[in-house]
Amino acid sequence: MYSQYHDLGDLFDKYNEVVNSANLMAFFTRDINLQKGNIASLLELIEYVEEFKQESIQIENEEKANFLLCLQLYARAIMTELEMLVSLKEDNISEAWDYLVSAQNIVSSTVRNYPFPTDGFCDHLSEYSARFHQYEKLLFPQIWFLSRGSIVNETKCSICEQSYSICDHLKGYAYMGKLCCEITEKVVKLEEISFVENPKDKRCRMTHFSSQGNKYDVLTLRKVS
């Protein structure tokens, strides 16, 4: 994974140390305070990698900048996994679901943008992604997802800030160490809300349902006032 950039030896040493420690905490049975400590360490690591990424951006080394972005994304995925486990322990179930979905999306972005697909790291990411699928099936009930149908007046690109319809960037892909997003400027009209099995965003979901005059939380079945 790291053989391409020998000049980043010190970064890799620190990265491996923090990531390996955090991976040891990625079990529900681990002490919650140890998990929180590793979340803080991962956040510091992401900021540390950012310094090296900015140096690559300054010399316009896009491949290296995108590689460092992927290191950040992988560390953030582990951090988000730990945040999910902590939220479950603290009985913040809806928050835990959002963390799980975020982690799934982060891993997908890492696989999509990793510049060296043949060095084995993407295989590791595929196995890691499968773990999130297991979390979803084992820890959470079946969920009804929603999809919004709407008319928007304009969307712009987060990279060049031009209209997304005319720029050359693709959302979800990295450019000089940054992920491209399509930014909606304004929703003109909301046309419909549909139930779907495979939404673009699994955080768009039914949160409550009613039965015999009472409202219940979908994830916990608690009565909602």
Can you list the alpha helix ranges (DSSP code H) found in 59-143? 62-89, 93-113, 121-139
Specify which residues 216 forms β-bridges with: 209, 223
pLDDT tens, position by position, 82-129: 999 999 999 999 999 999 999 999 999 999 999 987 788 889 999 999
**pLDDT over 80 (residue 152):** no
Largest CA distance in the chain: 66
**pLDDT over 80 (residue 186):** no
Three-state DSSP at 153 gives strand
For residue 190, what pLDDT is reported?
A: 66
For the CA atoms of 130, 136, 138, 142, the dihedral, rounded to the nearest 10 degrees, stands at -140
Domain boundaries, the chain: 6-139, 145-224
Which pTM does this prediction carry?
Answer: 0.91
For residue 73, what pLDDT is reported?
A: 98
For residue 94, what pLDDT is reported?
A: 96
Mean local confidence (pLDDT), 176-180:
96
Q: Cα angle vertex 112, ends 108, 118, to 5°?
A: 115
Mapping DSSP onto H, E and C, the string for 30-77 reads CCHHHHHHHHHHHHHHHHHHHHHHHHHHHCCCHHHHHHHHHHHHHHHH
Which of 63-67, 106-110, 210-214 comes out lowest in average pLDDT? 210-214
**pLDDT over 70 (residue 216):** yes
In eight-state DSSP terms, residue 163 is B
Q: What percent of the chain has pLDDT over 70?
A: 95
By C-alpha distance, which of 138, 25, 36 is closest to 86? 36
**pLDDT over 70 (residue 150):** no
Burial 44-81 (b: 16+ CB within 10 A, else e): ebbeebeebbeebbeeebeebbbbbbbbbbbbbbbbbb
Q: How far apart are CA 180 and CA 37, in angstroms?
A: 31
For residue 6, what pLDDT is reported?
A: 81
**pLDDT over 60 (residue 219):** yes
Confidence at 165, pLDDT banded by 50, 70, 90: confident
